[in-house]
Structures are given as structure tokens and as C-alpha cells.
Structure 1
Amino acid sequence: MTLRPKLVLPTPQRSARPVRWAFDDAARLCLLGEQFNCIETNERGCILEYTTRTSPNGQPLTLPITWDELDALERDGAFTFERKGYSLEQSRKMLRAGARRMRDLPKKQRETIAWKRMLIERFCQLQAQGLATMSEASIRNALEIIQSTLCREAEETKAKKGAQAGSEIITLRRMPHPSTLVRWLKKMPDTSKESAMTLMDGRCNSGNFIPRFNVDETAILFRCARAFLMKEKPSIASTNTMMRIEFRKVNAERRRKHLPDLKIPSEKKLRDVIGSFTAIETAAGREGLDEAVNLFRPCSGGVQDLVRPLQRVEVDGWKIHLYMIAVAIGLWDHFPEDLRNAMKPLRMWLTAALCCTTRCYVGLWISKTVDAASTLQALRMIFTDKTALASSFGATTPWEYRGTPELMVFDTGSENYNEDVVAALTDLRIPFLFPQTSAPSARGRIERSHRTLDQKLISNLCGRAMPVQMRKQYEGEARACITVDEAVKVILRYIVDGYHNTPHAGLGGQTPRSKWLDVSLEFGVPRCPDIHELRLALGVEREARMQASGILVLGNWYRSPEQHALFQKIRNAPVRTRYDRENLGWISLQLDDVSWATVPGPAWMRGVNADTWMAARTDLQRRFKIEAQMTEPIVLDAIAAALEVDREARGRRGIIDSPLTQDMLDAVQARTLAGIAWTDDNAVPAQRPTGLFAGTIPVGTAATGAPDEQDRQRGSTPTSGGPTQPASAKPSYKPPKRAARETPPTPTKPKPVRSWTKRDTE
């Protein structure tokens, strides 16, 4: 069960009857930021009078309030009360002591006040017993009695503790002069604790406060101290040397003018001046303004009241502190030579989406550069079950965290703050937020997760990118030996199996995975958008031209009644389409300015992504260059082979930026039109009309119930996607008989032999 504050904190118990409070005349009340005096009370409540407000006619303003309302305001911290706040005696004591409370005084002063108070109490006791009077001789005798009593009590205390009597010299404060004790008695006429602060002496205000340096010396001192607040970060010793040089120059100039030399401050004085600068002023001068703002920005410990899964998802890009070797494996072998042979060490970008409630990674994308595409890919993973991806890397823990975020928070980088990301989030109806610029604390949890990944994992790998001042000792680029695929495998396995199953301090020691399971069972997870909505919001948009066979996208024909109706209106005009690279089973076709239609493709393409399909097409074009048509079994065998090849590279396809650029997809689309077409045997279900003009032009028996004359004369052969014919129908068209050829005269020169071509003659 989730530990929420309302389950942990005790519930305040209300008494059956409110308490009637009594306020003296000197009491000071503060209610909702206003000062009041209590002028009247009864069994229902009290009447308060404003001390700073009056009515327009000069009459005092009052406020009636019941005891229940006063108790409620006190529980909320909106009511404060100071007893004897306006009494003249108490104000004099506070003014004389320089503090409002006893605990505000230094410990040494409190000990001194306690010593004085103890002497006054002991003397008052002797005076009450008749053993002392206010004469000087009697006071001196009483102080000797008090001193001997204190020594005996100290010896007894040591004996009770098991120490040997007389083993240590008992040190007591020196007894005051009788006149001093009389002065203390006048300050504290009674032994009440309220007047104890009047016994504080004025030693804290003693000393010579006259400035030791004149105006010219102070100006040079502060000007040199300001040099300490520079980005070069000079030391105090070097600043002191610079100050002494400056004073020597000024004194040399003053000697020429017959003026006395200026006193040179000591290094201790310089340290005192530097120490008087505020912390934010020092940080701004030595670290920079941006760093100072980040260090001293108010922080409330993160966003509070997060209890539901995906209630707040933070997205951020991080350049991984590790040099990797980009090598080609698996599906990369199907692409250009320069891409396969890229071996230069590089640093990849990690775009992560973190659920702030559970601290679980719900999206992860690694790419060579960070841009809008990487953000959209990380966003796409939030709606996907990533367990198969994690299993391909050998992870044993499921990575099933998915759903629709209630709020997404980004930084203002160009990869996030652009029209593509904003449009996708708007279409998915996901609220989003861009906090203040250069404010990492506004996204503290995702920022801290990058640091955790760097400390717990990246710092242990060879080839780590070091700060500038450490690069000479450790050259990360020269020591790079881990490939991109190996690094991604390590990172993913650590996140899924390690980080998600490690107790998290921000969750009270609970693991992120356990937290997800708890809150998802308690509150439920917001449902993901369907595949068609995801395709419209996050799909790749391309311009295509319709044909009688449908729309050709990545080598597959997509057709539907809506598509064909639009084809009859605009024919070969360009149309807008969108396809999901993670699922090529359907595409979306724009019918008008606001409407989109879902156009299905071959059944075997459902669930197949673009990378796997391109690998299968490349293999098919290599194996079947002569055949004009491919049937479903051949295509399925090719896809199965591509999936087998893709098994080792599935992680790269699922989490690393794909090498398939849009230009490559366009090139494949262009090559698709040459030489190979696909026979879609199952494109149209049996229960739906299969006529090419079904729904628009009556065909066969659909119009009259019997074949008409034109059908009998024209005749047709059933083909996939063409008009249907009854099984007994025979074509009425007969080719005409060939006319007899006339024998041409024998030419004088023999003509070259040419191949005979079959053709019809009139």
C-alpha cells in the first residue's frame, strides 16, 4: 500500500467543547497577518480590536470570532499569541538584553546569567532565614557561606558519581563584591524567570568600534577585495599580494605630493572583508551568474502530491559521458558503405522519459544527435510495452511500463521546444509544460537520474569522458573500446534489471518497480491511445499518388473503399499519407482538410516495423530479380529471415537511432516500382464486395439481377481487384480471322531476317 501522508500523520482530534481562553490586557494577538487586542470575551467567543485600522469616522474596528474558529486558525498556523507583549517592563528587558528570548543569547552569556540568578536565590534564602541583611559585612559573610555550600555540594556530587573526593580541584566562579550583588538585586527584585534576562551584562557591546582605516584606505581595501570575485578564482594570498602592490603604488604617488603614507591592512582584515560578501555574490563573481542562479534558486524538494502513475513525466536529453565506437552489425549491413565503416569514437545522446511518481523509465532513445525526432521516438516508447526489447538484451525483469501521461515537462531546448513536438502532444491531448529557462531544478528528478546513471554505471566503463582539467591524465577518446551496441546493452540492462529493482531513497526505500506495481493497482494507469491515433500524431508524413491498385507505400499496396472513392475524384493528384514506422499494417490517408481515413495493407504487415521490412525487401530483390510477382508465402519467409537477422540487432532498432533516414526510405520507395509487385491474395475479405467499382457503378447482377447485354458482349476475366463474373459466363468476344497475306515480290537484295511478332489484323 502506498504510504501517503494522510495515512501516516495522526488525525487531529476535536474536543467536544471549545476552550474559552483568557487574555490579559498586555497580550498581543496576530490573526491572518493583522494585529489585534482582545477587548471582550464570553462563552461563545471573543471580540478583537484592530490596532492598525480605524473606521472612516475614527472609531476602532472590531472583529468577532468564535472559539471554534480560533482553534481552527491556530491549527493552520494563522494565529499567533504573545503574552505581555505590550507591557513596559517586558519591553525594557528586551531592549536592555538586545534579544527577545533567553535561548537567543550565546551559551556563555546564559551560563553567566544562571550563575548570577543562583547567587541571588541563595542570598534571598539566607535573608529569609535571618542569616543575612543588606549591610556590606553581612553580604560578605553570606557570600562566604554560599561559596562553602557550593564546594560541599560539588564534593558530594563527585562522590555519588564514584569519583575520589579531592582528586580534582573544584573550580568555581569568583564571588562578586557586595555592591555588585546589591546592583543585581535591583535589576532582579524577584527570582522569576521572566526577569532573568535583565542580569545580562554589557560585555557583548564592549570594544572600540571606531574605524581604524580612513576613507582612502577603505576604498583601496574594498577595491582589492572585489578582485577576489573574478572568474579566474584568485586565492586570498594572491589577492593580498595584489593589494600590497596597489598600496605601494599609491604611497609612492603620495610621497611625491608630500602626503603621509596610507596604512596597509593585514591579510586578516582582507579575509574579514572578503568574508563579509554574501554567498550568492561570491558565487556569481567566481562561478558565473548562471551557476549562482542555479545554486541559490529556491527549491521545495520537488513537486509534491504525486501519487498516480504517469501523473508527471519529465523528458530530458543527456550527452552520455562515454566515448563509444560506432560499428555496423545486423541490419546495418544493408546500407551504404560509409555508414558501415564508421569507426570513429563518438558520444551518443540519451533522451529519457521518467515517471516522477515511481521513478521508472517509461521511454528511452539513444541517438547520435538530439533533435525533435529523438524526442518523438522517446515519446512513442511511452505507449509501447518494451518487455521484448529488454529480453533481447538478456534482461529478466519486464519493462511493461506504459500509458498516457497526465503532464509532460520538458526543457526549452530546440529538440523539445519546436512545432513537431508541440503538435504531437496537442494531438494526443497530453498537457505539457516548459519551465523557466536554465532552471534544472524545475526538472530535478530527471536531472538527478542522469547523475545516478553516470555515477553508478558510466564511471566504471573504459573511455569515459572526463572534465577539461582531467583530460590530460585520462584521454577518454583514445581509450574508447566499447561499441555503441555494447554500451546500449549495458545501459539498458542496468536500467531494467538494476535501477528499477534498487531501493530508492526518494521512494522511502521502495524500489521503482515495486512502486509502479503498487500505484498502478491502486489508481490504475491511463489508457494508451490506439494505434491509429498514434499513427496520426507520431507517424511519418509523406506525399503519395494514388493508382487504380491503391497507394504504394514502402513497397506495399494499401487500398480501401474510401481510398478508391477519393481516387475517382482526384485520380493521380498527390495526397497526404502517414505511416507508423513501428507498425506498417495500416496507413492514414487525408480525405479532406479535417478527415483522415485508415487504409489497410497486407495482413502480414501488421506489427512489422520499417527496419525489418526494409531488410526483407532487400533480400527479396536480391533473390527474385526475375520473377514479376511474389505471393504471400515468399514474403512471409523473407520477413521471418529478416526477423532472425534482426534478433541480435533488435536492441539497436528499438532503442538506438535507426540508420534508416528518410532519404533512404524514399530511395527504397523509388526502387520498389521497378521489377517487383506483390500479389495480395487476402487483401479484400470474402464478405466484402470485390468489384473494382463496387459501391459506385452497378456490376453484373448487382443492377438488374441478370447479366445485361453489355456484359455478355464485353465479357471479362476475374482478377484480384477487378469486377466479378458468374462461373458459367463465357466471353462473347471472338478474335477475327487473319486475312491471307499476299506474297510480296522477290526483292533484288535479301532483307535481314526479323523475328515474327504475333499481332491481330483487321
Structure 2
Amino acid sequence: MNVFNGDQFRSSAPTTYGFGPGHVFAIRDLDDLLYEYVSHDRHVLTAKPVSNPELPQVFTQEEFRALVDAGKVDPRIEQNSVSRQTLLARNPDIKSIRDLADAEQDELSFYWQLCRHVVQMYDDGATSLTDKALQKAIAKIMGKLVFGADSSEDEQPRRKPGKGKAAKEPGERKIKARKRVANYEIPAPSTLRKWIRVLVEHDWDILALRDHRKGRVGYHVPKVTDPHSVALMAKWVQQYLDRSRPSAATLYKLMTGSVRLEDENAVRERMGKHPLPHNETPSFAAANVARAAEGLPPLLLPSKSTFERAIRKLDKYQVVLARQGPEAARKQFKVSGRREVVLFPGERVSIDCWRVQLKTAKLPQEFWAGLPEKLIGVAGKVRLILCLAICEATKVVLGARLAVNAGGEVAMRTLEMVCRNKNAIALAASCRSSWDHACTPMTVPTDSGPEFIDSAFRCAVRDIGSANEIGPASHPDARGVGERFFKTVDVQLMPFFQGRTFSGIDDKGEIDAGAVTNVVAETLGKALVRYVVDAYHNTPHGGLGGQTPNDAWEERTALHQVLPPPPAHRLRTVFGFSDNRRIQNRGIRFLGLYYRSSELALLRRSVGQADVRIRADLENLGTVWFSKNVPGAKWESANCDLDMEGVSAALWIDTEAALRRKYANVAKLSEHIVYAALRDLRETGRHSAAAAGIGPSTMAREDILKHETEIVRHFGYVTAGERGHSFDGFDGIDAIDGDLAQDSEVPLESGEVASEESQRPVTRRRGRLGSDFLRKE
């Protein structure tokens, strides 16, 4: 029995860690010790040191879990993959895809998608790998990727008469991941074939395209064919897609003109078949007569085998749909039967988004007091997006985020939760069970929604050592595990709240969901975590044969391997905040805080006023990491001069806002005022949902930069004993006279009248003027 959140409980899912045969991992202590994996079971893990393989070492699973929780275990995914090592050796200027420029990441992601779509079309029989077929496929796919257009003309956005813009269909999702239309070169068919070969050789690693995408381009001239003959034959090929089900032989006779349509329909009528529809397409014989009258050469008649081959190239689904109907097409082509077998936890972690069928208030009722009811109804109530990560083997929820809109940042934060221990989230939501499930997923299946086609999300999946699998669009049955969980949430959790929108007008009736909405976004987030951790994880699941997800995780981890989550430095690289900053007198400034160290002082000597690269963990502002702005530079750490260990960016931003509301002058605050504000906000519990990492307040990189530009520009504070001196005591750096206030000088609160005692002159840099130097005598 253990104690969690003040109550006794049985540990629901102790994780059993393991690796593949011959896998080499590292344990980081004073030095990196390399071990080669030998075997494991639910009690111990055996490995032998690489430096001394004759002395195997046995770790208990409890000891190994402690090492993983302390961030000392590095799975070394890159070093154990030959293809990844090869690619990194060919690219010595980078250590991960995130080191590339954003434009190059987008370009690699675009051409990677192009190759995947071509291979998918080839597997579906929609195209071949010949030059002629690839030219058509490349043009169609690039149009879809660049403009978001669908390949089918029936699904194109319809234009209203007299309108310049396409009318948005009901329920249509607007693609937001690509903010602008990108211009990319159309590759030659030979180049595309070479890309596909290289990607297959390197297990579809996106980095493989960096070496080969600009190689020598070859182009083969297609076989010369009369375009008029091809166009006329294509019209007759389309006649095959008809409910009368004409045969290829009959259509070929009609195309050549050897029989007339009236004679063929008479024969079909005697046989009891449907007559062929009237067709205005001329036969080759009639077309040649018309061309002879105009003095043009006759058209070359394609052979019967060529005509039949063109019919066989038609999309099989479209053939069945047109000739037999939609029901027959769905029955014949719907994926059914045995699903893909998933053995161990983390083998496939599916991520999907769902618009919650419940209207939610953004803020409590007191925040909207005094506003018109119409404004409250429009601005105060929304339907949130739930982004979910679920293990397909055990049905354990590994990550969940609520957001106002689906986007790449929400998907990345959900993926980050998969790799982190979530006990703090469960504690904030008052759960009685633990939520310590964490791993490195092997495959991350997603759909082709805008939040998942974002290049930042794709690169994050690759950098943690996983593979991204994109399922077909408009086929939710291909993602049955996640879709079924959404249905379970809608049936079991949503009935506890008012304001449900339901799945359709038949279920909803005439209820006005906005008029009865009473749940706040933070309340919904806590309720969702409590439901997942305490209810769902401990309820027998039909897809697990009656096991609970927690029991399935415990059993599968004992029988099979679970890849440990990436180390802290890898998570910081992949999911942290990255930017370029200039070293100021007090150090590096981030979100109004100053960071400094001896290494930073030495770096300032060498770079001067040049920018340096920084990385920050938005969940812990105690430390930032910096490096020289050159490829391959070493990263060093710098601590904040305030005690910000464990303070998240969301909590600190709200602290700044509280200080701005309370004090009229926020330019110079004493250290104890800042600590008091942090303590008050922590005690109020307002950040329990934000600390849980599920609230709808996901901060993107653009939000951080905007906050620094508009709000934190004039924010400052005085640390006790430092007096604003930047690098005092750091490697002989000379002290710099500060222009900050003394620790004893507390800013006045808004509306407070200064007494004569508080109006004494304040030391300033220029002329040492007092605070009353503008007063008249």
C-alpha cells in the first residue's frame, strides 16, 4: 500500500523497463556509463558494461525506475540505429532536425509527404512509377499539399454566383497549419524515385532527404503520343463508370465505330439488360471523317489491349461505386476483420483530436458581471478541443490536452505528456490513483488534420525516436481506439454537465446549449483528469477482455519491453522554447527574469553584442540553457537570480499581471514582493489545471514573444544583496553600476498617496535626481 494525495491506494501500474536485443543505453552519473542490454523480467534488468562485458550487472526494476525518474537513463535511440547514425555522420553541422532553419524543416516535411502520398497511391493501384504516371501524380499531390485542394472535383469548394471566394461547406475544417502558400520546386520522376529508395533504405527518416533532394536531376522524355487520340480515348474510358455496366469489349466497338449505339441497345433489350445511355462522344471513325473534311490527318486508333489497360488503371473504388453503388463499394473496400496486433505498451500511441460535445465557459461568472447577455453568450462560451494520446496495446491514456482550437502546439504538448510522469497532474486534480505511465512511443499514428501535418509536430516525433504514421482522411474507423474513447467520454462523463451539444440535431432537439452552460474550462479539465485516472483506468475494458487499462499496462510491461522516456535534455531540446537573445548587463533576460553564470560571463567576453541561442523549459523557469550561435556549439546552463525552480511560465505570467494590477510602478520591485505574489497565487489553487498541463491555455512560441514585447518590457525587480550588478564575482568581470532601486524602497500601490517620508529623493544615474525633481517650489 502506498499513499498518494493523502489516501492509501494500491500502485496501479508499476512499469517494467527493457530494451531490444543488443541495445546499448547509458546511465548518466558523474560520467556516462554505457551498458549493453542482456535480458529483463518484471523484477530485474540485466546488462553488461561495454567497458567490461565479462561482469554483467543486475538492476532491480525498482532501482531502474528510480534512475529513469531521476533522468539518468538515456535510451540512446540515435546511437542504436545504423540508419540514424549514418544520416548524422553525413550532416555534421546538426545534431537534430530542430537545428535546421524553419524553412528547411518545412521543405523536408513537404517532400517527405509527397513521397508518402506517391507510395500510398502506388499501393492503392492509383498510379505507377513510370515517368508519365508520376508526372500526373506529382501535379495532383502537390496541388493538394500546397493549396489544400482535394483530388476529387466533386469535393472542391463550390463558388457562389458573383462571389470571388469559395463557399465553405458545413462542417468543413479550415486548414490552419500552413499560414502561407509555399513555393516548392516540382521534382522530376527520376528524382522522386531516388528519394523513395533512400527513404525506404533509412526507414523513412525525414533527414534522409537532406542529402539527396538536391542531387543530380534526370528527366526522361515521355513517349510521343497524339494528344487528340489520348483525349478521345479517355472520354470513352470514362463511359465504363456507368450503372448500366457496359463491358470493355462493347465500349471498344462503340469507340472504333464498328457498331452503332442503337444496334447495341437493341441487342441489350432482347437480353433484358439496361440500355446504354446516349453518348455524344464521337467514335474514331466519325472523328476521322470530320478531320478528313478539314484536311487533317486521321487519328491513330488505340489497340484493344491499350484501351483495356486504361480501364484497369481506373480507381477500383470509383469503379465499384459507379457500377454497383455506394453500399457495395463500402462493403468491398471498408477495412474490417482482424486489426493490427500491438503487443507491448508504447508500441503504438495514437494521437487524435475531438471537439467536445459540451459548451464551456472560459471564465467563472463573476468575470462577466455587468456585460450584456449577448456579449457573454458569444465571447464567454466555446466548445473546446480534446487532444488525446492513447496506448493501443493497453488502452491507457498517456496524454490529454484541452484547447480552444486545434493546432500544432497542442499536438506537441500532448506528445510531451506521453514522455513525462504525470503524477503532479493527478495530484492537482485530487486523484486517488497514480498517473506515472510514461515511455518513448515507437509509432505515433495520426490523421491528416492540420494539427498533425504541422512540420514542428513531425520533427518532434522524429527527434524523440518515434515514427509518424498518417492514416487515411475521412476514415475514423481506421483510428478505432481513439474514436471509441471519445464516445466513451461523451457517454460517461459529459452527462454530468449542462450545455451538451450532442452529436446531431435529432439528439439535441430544441435545447439551447448556450443558455444552460454552467461548467468552466478549468473545472472540465480537472473532471477529465479525475475521470481518466480514477474511473477509466480502473474500469474493465471490453477491448482488453475484461481487464482494466492499469492491469493491462502492468501485465504487458511484465511480459514485454517498454522503452524508457527520453532524458530531460532531449525533452528540453524537442519541446522547449528556443530563441536568440543578447547578453545584457544583468545576464540573459527571458520573461522579465535574468539568468547568469560564470560560463555566460566568459561567453560574453567572446561574443560581445552578438546574439546567443537559448532554450528554456516552460514548466520550470529556474534554469535556461545557452550556446554560441554557431552549429555544434556546446550548451551551458544559467540559473535565475530569483528562486524560480519549479515555477511554470503560466504561473509567472499571472504573477506579473497581479503585480501590475497591485502596484503602480512595476519597473523596480523588491524580491520579497515577487515571492509574496507567487506564494499567494499558489495558495489560491488557480493554477491546478494549468499545472496539470490540460487547461486550454497552451502558450505557443508566438504568445511568449508577444508577451515579452507588449507586457514585460518595463518589468523589473531588485534581488537582495545583488543591487543590480550583473556579473559580480563571476571570473573577474567588473561590476556595473546599476540604476535600480534599493531593496527598502517598495513601489506604491495603485491609488496610495505618498507620505513625506516616502517622497525622499531616489538615487538615479543622470544627475542623481530625486523623485520630486519636477515639482514646483
* TM-score, scaled to structure 2: 0.48
Higher relative contact order (CA 8 A, sep 6+): 2
Which of the two has higher C-alpha Rg?
1
* TM-score, scaled to structure 1: 0.49
